[in-house]
Amino acid sequence: MFIEVKGAKKIYGKGESEVRALDGASLSLEEGGLYVILGPSGSGKSTLLNMLGGLDHLDGGNLEIGGVKVSGMSDKQLVEYRRSDVGFVFQFYNLIPDLTVRENIQVVADITKEPLNVDEVMEAVDVKKYEHHFPSELSGGQQQRVSIARAIVKNPKILLCDELTGALDSKSAKTVLKFVESVNRKFHTTVIIITHNEAIAQMADRIIRIKDGQVSSNEANPAKRAAKDVEL
């Protein structure tokens, strides 16, 4: 398995205010798939994503990606892991406001050993025409496409998308999903989308459901649809 999570635990707070964001979650996923993790608010899906992306440490359990044990990595090792293997797309885009579209993508290419061509990536997500715009001059959908471009320019092994359409209208959301799908196909990138939007699950190879910090189901999606056919 490409991604192997076993008994993952993450606890925030202490005593009465203790919150078990992950409470023994286990999950196995193959390389190159497009996965959707579903769950209600507070179920622990964002925490799981943070762990997969090396943004935080587990309090218990194991996490291996591509045969490399991510849990137990030091902060410095996590930096290197994020630098080479992970791409992030966030709900609120999180572009760097002081950089133009091209520069927001280039800033990642600069620290990547073998980045993809920035122009090609921009064209792939159709933002080339805005290359000299600052984020504040773009719409939400446009910003999210830039965010995808930024994530994929390093040609990551995993693309992690946190509620990537949460701030978009349905038309923009569908466009963004199409780009994510194309990245998955074109670059064979493992894509994990976390969302509470059930409709997005239609395009997944597998649908993982999380509840109370545990994986309640991990099932193949026999009725997988293309992003363009997803009914949002």
Given the rule CB under 8 A, which residues bind other proteins? 50, 53, 55-56, 76, 79-80, 82-84, 86, 88, 90, 92-100, 103, 106-108, 110-111, 132, 134-137, 150, 154
Smallest separation (angstroms) from other proteins to the CB of 231: 27
Other beta carbons within 10 angstroms of residue 83's beta carbon come to 15
Which amino acid, one-letter code, is at 48?
L
Q: Which is nearer to other proteins, 193 or 201 (CB)?
A: 193
17: which DSSP letter?
G
Q: Which is nearer to other proteins, 131 or 205 (CB)?
A: 131
Smallest separation (angstroms) from other proteins to the CB of 143: 9
Which stretch of DSSP H or E encloses residue 51? helix 45-52
Smallest separation (angstroms) from other proteins to the CB of 132: 5
How far apart are alpha carbons 122 and 130 in whole angstroms?
9
114: which DSSP letter?
S
Q: Which is nearer to other proteins, 144 or 175 (CB)?
A: 144
How far apart are alpha carbons 199 and 81 in whole angstroms?
31
Q: Which is nearer to other proteins, 73 or 199 (CB)?
A: 73
Smallest separation (angstroms) from other proteins to the CB of 82: 4
User: Could you tell me the end-to-end alpha-carbon distance of the chain, in angstroms, rounded to an integer?
Assistant: 31
